[in-house]
Amino acid sequence: MELLKERILRDGVIKPGNVLKVDSFLNHQMDIDLINQIGQEFKRLFADAPITKILTIEASGIGIACLTAQYFNVPVVFAKKSQSINLDGDVYCTKVESFTHKRIYDVILSKKFLTADDYVLIIDDFLANGCALMGLIDIVQHAGATIEGAGIVIEKGFQCGGKAIRKTGVRLESLAIIESMTDDSLTFA
Ligand code: 5GP
């Protein structure tokens, strides 16, 4: 998606530790026109899939998932990062290691919002080592729902997540894949 790549080059800021900050347009301040176009692109890519629900993880995925969901006319459900070990039996629970915060979270989703009848599109802002996406896939599998695919806005292709997810057979569509990133420049695949 050229518009997205241009925006990353113009406004993305590379931070130490292989972190790309895109908080002026994607995950802090949000450019709604751009994210609408991202949603339309996901719709174009998954037009053939019988999606009934969009699944994401808080917090950065939520806005992107919501604008995308308008084009599929389906609900969004987001997995919550839980601090609590007081979980009742009505939730799916998995563990996710945060790439940006370097800690492990319990991630939960209420069982009533994802069932075996659902066809799920997973949406997230970044794919790095794949922990967040693997956690979401785990939840969908526990629900017995069908994974139609995953839509990622920015894949850091030099990290291992993309390869690991593609190996599982899950259909993965990334709108911008960064091939390499140094302290002051990046290139796309
Ligand atoms: P993974 O679980 O694939 O290692 O990392 C994906 C998650 O970490 C995403 O949900 C995203 O919020 C965060 N993340 C990973 N890499 C970056 C990055 O370079 N920049 C930002 N802003 N978030 C990232």
- pLDDT tens per residue, range 90-118: 999 999 988 888 889 899 999 999 999 99
The residue whose CA is least distant from atom 8 of ligand 1 is 99
Chain centre to alpha carbon of residue 29: 17
Q: Quick one: which atom of ligand 1 is closest to the CA of 128?
A: 3
pLDDT at 99: 83
Our answer on whether the CB atom of 34 is closer than 6 Å to any ligand 1 atom is: no
pLDDT at 181: 96
Give the full edge-to-edge strand order of the sheet including 76-82.
Answer: 91-97, 104-110, 76-82, 53-57, 119-127, 146-156, 172-181, 186-188
Q: pLDDT exceeding 70 applies to what percent of the chain? A: 96
Our answer on whether the CB atom of 128 is closer than 6 Å to any ligand 1 atom is: yes
Mutate to test the pocket of ligand 1, among 25, 125, 180 (most ligand atoms within 8 A of CB): 125
Looking at per-residue confidence, does 105 or 43 come out higher? 43
Residue 86 has pLDDT above 60, yes or no: no
C-alpha 86/C-alpha 99 separation (Å) is 25
CB atoms within 10 A of CB 116: 8
pLDDT at 9: 97
Q: What angle do CA 76, 79, 81 make, to 5 degrees?
A: 145
Which of 82-96, 133-147, 163-177 shows the lowest mean pLDDT across its residues?
Answer: 82-96
Mutate to test the pocket of ligand 1, among 20, 27, 30, 99 (most ligand atoms within 8 A of CB): 99
Our answer on whether the CB atom of 60 is closer than 6 Å to any ligand 1 atom is: yes
Our answer on whether the CB atom of 13 is closer than 6 Å to any ligand 1 atom is: no
Whether the model pTM is above 0.85: yes
Query: What is the overall mean pLDDT for the chain?
Result: 95
Interval 162-188 mean pLDDT: 96
Residue 122 has pLDDT above 90, yes or no: yes
| Residue type for position 1 | M
Interval 65-85 mean pLDDT: 91
Interval 38-65 mean pLDDT: 97
Q: What angle do CA 71, 75, 80 make, to 5 degrees?
A: 125
Which of 2-6, 41-45, 180-184 shows the lowest mean pLDDT across its residues?
Answer: 180-184
What is the DSSP code (8-state) at residue 132?
H
Spatial neighbors of 57 by CB under 8 A, at least 6 apart, are 78, 79, 81, 96, 107, 124, 132, 135, 136
